[in-house]
Amino acid sequence: MDEILKFKANDLRAKICSGEVKSLDIIKSCVTRIKRTDLKIGAFLKLNEAKSLEQATYSDKKIKNDERSGFLEGIPIAIKDNIMIKGESMTSASKYLENYVSPYDATVIEKLKKSGAIFLGRTNMDEFAMGGSTETSAYQKTANPWNIKYIPGGSSGGSAAAVSAGMVPFALGSDTGGSVRQPASFCGIVGYKPSYGLISRYGVCALASSFDQIGILSRSVKDSALLASAIVGKDYRDPVCEPKDWIDFVSYIDNDIEKLKAIKIGVPKQLFNYKIDAEILENFDKAVNKLKFSGAEIIEIDIQAYKYVPALYKVIMCAEVSANIATFDGIRYGYRSRNARNLDDEYTKSRTESLGYEVKKRILFGTYVLSAKNYYRCYHQAQKVRTLLINQITDAYKRCDFIFSPTTLQMPVEFGEVLQEECDIFLIAANLAGLPGITVPFGFTNSGMPVGMHFMGSRFSDVRLFQIASAFEKISGFDVNKYPEL
């Protein structure tokens, strides 16, 4: 593996600016790495080789001529295939959008274009981000770089695998119910989901609007902070996006492990109600001890509503899915059946032929929970329980600063096997409550698979979350320079 690929995005940024490293060389290395390894992994749906090389040459010229360079000038980034880039395809890994071309830029893409970042390619995902293994993609499977028999997690599995395999320094994903953090953990990298309303959702193909957030996958906490700084900010085009001023997250990160002193870390006692993989539990105990050793106070917290998380997530998410996916009807764009005889037939056949099993299942379930007969019993009840969960979490934050847990309760499974429903509940809780969460790789199992730990902060505590995660990263002893052998 090319040494240049081992630099973190923050280092690349400094080296490109000083002229020490050329953007063109980085892109060339990335392309070579992708060409050599991605046949095995299947992380990318599309590689923008020619355009990336062209952009890199332009960035290098700008830097050489001392022209004003952007925040991420010349740095490659991979984009999950559900984010709009004007003039480019956007499939959301669905057959329905096979030939769709984005007519506009997502807000984050607009910002990244201004920053001079280079969109190296589009990464694979579960169809419309529905899934936790990237297996529901209509196009290809993505393998876990640490063991290609295993799933990379999902739905942002392509982004996670690409970063993990050293194909690109960082990537954008989207996180509706752990879809950035779970694959990041499975692939041994950092995964960050911002507070709901911190980053504009405009231009992200909607899954469940009240949970969706763009997230970041990177090799270090500081790299996540760097990319977050490039895309954060108010946006009138997303009404739930809070009118907050721009934050330079990177400037707050100093790897200072002193930050862990006198901090209160809450561990939910509900964690132990579940079947947890033994090696994950072992690593978790180690992590807790390291935190204690660094001066953090560990507090047991009680959030009884955690037990409702899988059910209430499923009800609300599917309800929103059923409405959001309704626009894919074969009428204005996307897949249209050639066998339809009338309007209803066109709807039915276009959707039947182009949408996958998981998507159909969620549409049906969402339609069921919203029907007049079931609305109060299912959807309305779930919203009430959601409020209960939020209240219990808010109460818990009166006693602690962060909630700490293993990222997942299970290790990645082989293709075709199913993860248990509870696997991601500590991640989903963050989506249900609109809170920021970050997974940091901590150790490896005996079979060489990575294990991640998860911090969840209170709403808009993202700066402190980065600080704590960065300090934890330092004490974890995880070797970020270790790459899977491919």
Partner 1 sequence: MINYEFIIGLEVHMQINTKSKVFCECSTQFGSEPNSNTCVICTSQPGTIPILNKKAVEAVIKTGLALNFNINKESTFARKQYFYPDSPKNYQITQANPPLCSKGKLSIVVEGKEKVINITRIHLEEDAGKLVHEIGSRKLDYSLIDLNRAGVGLMELVTEPEISSPEEAFEFLSELKSIVEYLGTSECNMEEGKMRCDVNVSIRPIEQKEYGIRVEIKNINSLSGVRDAIAYEIERQKEVLDSGGKLIQETRLWKAEEKMTKSMRSKEGALDYRYFPEPDLVPFELSDSFIEGLRKEIPELPKARRTRFIKDYGLTEYAASYLTSTKAIADYYEKALDYLEDKKVSSQLLANWISTELNAKFNTSKLSILESPVSCQNLAKLVSLILNGTISGKIAKTVFDEMFKNSSSPEKIIKEKELAQISDEVIIVKICEEAIFESSKAVAEFKSGKEKAIGAIIGLVMKKSKGQANPQLVNKILIEKLKK
3-state class of 303 per DSSP? Answer: coil
Handedness of CA 70, 216, 405, 394 (dihedral sign): positive
**90: contact with partner 1 by CB under 8 A:** yes
**364: contact with partner 1 by CB under 8 A:** no
Strand partners, 438: 192, 455
Q: Which of these ranges, 37-45, 134-142, 143-151, 231-239, lies near partner 1 under the rule CB under 8 A?
A: 231-239
Q: Work out the angle at residue 389's Cα, subtended by the Cα atoms of residues 211 and 206, and round it to the nearest 5 degrees.
A: 10
Strand partners, 265: 298, 402
Among 129, 198, 370, 468, binds partner 1 (CB under 8 A): 370
CB of 368 to partner 1, least distance (A): 10
Among 236, 272, 357, 376, binds partner 1 (CB under 8 A): 236
Helix (H) or strand (E) holding 216: strand 213-218
Measured between alpha carbons, how far is residue 118 from residues 45, 59, 171 in Å?
A: 16, 9, 11
Phi, psi angle pair for 251, to nearest 5°: -65, -20
**326: contact with partner 1 by CB under 8 A:** yes
Q: Are strands 118-123 and 44-47 parallel, antiparallel or unpaired?
A: antiparallel
Return all residues near 389 (Cβ < 8 A) that are at least 6 apart: 303, 305, 306, 308, 309, 312, 429, 432, 433
Tell me how far apart the alpha carbons of residues 75 and 294 are, in angstroms, rounded to a whole number: 35
Q: Are 17 and 62 in contact (CB under 8 A)?
A: no
- Output 32 or 89, the one with its CB closest to partner 1: 89
CB of 332 to partner 1, least distance (A): 6
**352: contact with partner 1 by CB under 8 A:** no
Among 28, 32, 62, 104, binds partner 1 (CB under 8 A): 104
Sequence length of the chain is 486
Q: Work out the angle at residue 176's Cα, subtended by the Cα atoms of residues 171 and 182, and round it to the nearest 5 degrees.
A: 60
**111: contact with partner 1 by CB under 8 A:** no
3-state class of 381 per DSSP? Answer: helix
Q: Are strands 437-444 and 118-123 parallel, antiparallel or unpaired?
A: unpaired
Among 97, 129, 230, 438, binds partner 1 (CB under 8 A): 97
**376: contact with partner 1 by CB under 8 A:** no
Radius of gyration of the chain (CA): 21
CB of 230 to partner 1, least distance (A): 19
Handedness of CA 322, 325, 330, 332 (dihedral sign): positive
Active site residue 398: no
Q: Which of these ranges, 27-35, 84-92, 129-137, 439-447, lies near partner 1 under the rule CB under 8 A?
A: 84-92
CB of 156 to partner 1, least distance (A): 16
**83: contact with partner 1 by CB under 8 A:** yes
**122: contact with partner 1 by CB under 8 A:** no
Active site residue 155: yes
Among 205, 216, 318, 432, binds partner 1 (CB under 8 A): 205
Q: Which of these ranges, 21-29, 327-335, 432-440, 452-460, lies near partner 1 under the rule CB under 8 A?
A: 327-335
Return all residues near 144 (Cβ < 8 A) that are at least 6 apart: 150, 151, 152, 153, 161, 164, 186, 187, 412, 449
**214: contact with partner 1 by CB under 8 A:** no
- Output 251 or 327, the one with its CB closest to partner 1: 327
**209: contact with partner 1 by CB under 8 A:** yes
**319: contact with partner 1 by CB under 8 A:** yes
**322: contact with partner 1 by CB under 8 A:** yes
**273: contact with partner 1 by CB under 8 A:** no
Question: CB count, 10 Å around CB of 309?
Answer: 25
Catalytic residue among 179, 322, 354, 458: 179
Catalytic residue among 29, 52, 69, 80: 80
Active site residue 133: no
Q: Which of these ranges, 117-125, 140-148, 218-226, 372-380, lies near partner 1 under the rule CB under 8 A?
A: 372-380
Q: Which of these ranges, 39-47, 197-205, 216-224, 437-445, lies near partner 1 under the rule CB under 8 A?
A: 197-205
Q: Are 266 and 299 in contact (CB under 8 A)?
A: yes
**81: contact with partner 1 by CB under 8 A:** no
- CA 397 from centroid of its chain's CA atoms: 24
**240: contact with partner 1 by CB under 8 A:** yes
Of 138-177, binders to partner 1 (CB under 8 A) are none
Q: Which residues are catalytic?
A: 80, 155, 179
The contact set with partner 1 (CB under 8 A) reads: 82-84, 90, 92, 97, 100, 102-104, 106, 201-206, 208-210, 236-240, 319-320, 322-323, 326-327, 329, 331-333, 343, 347, 367, 370-372, 375, 379
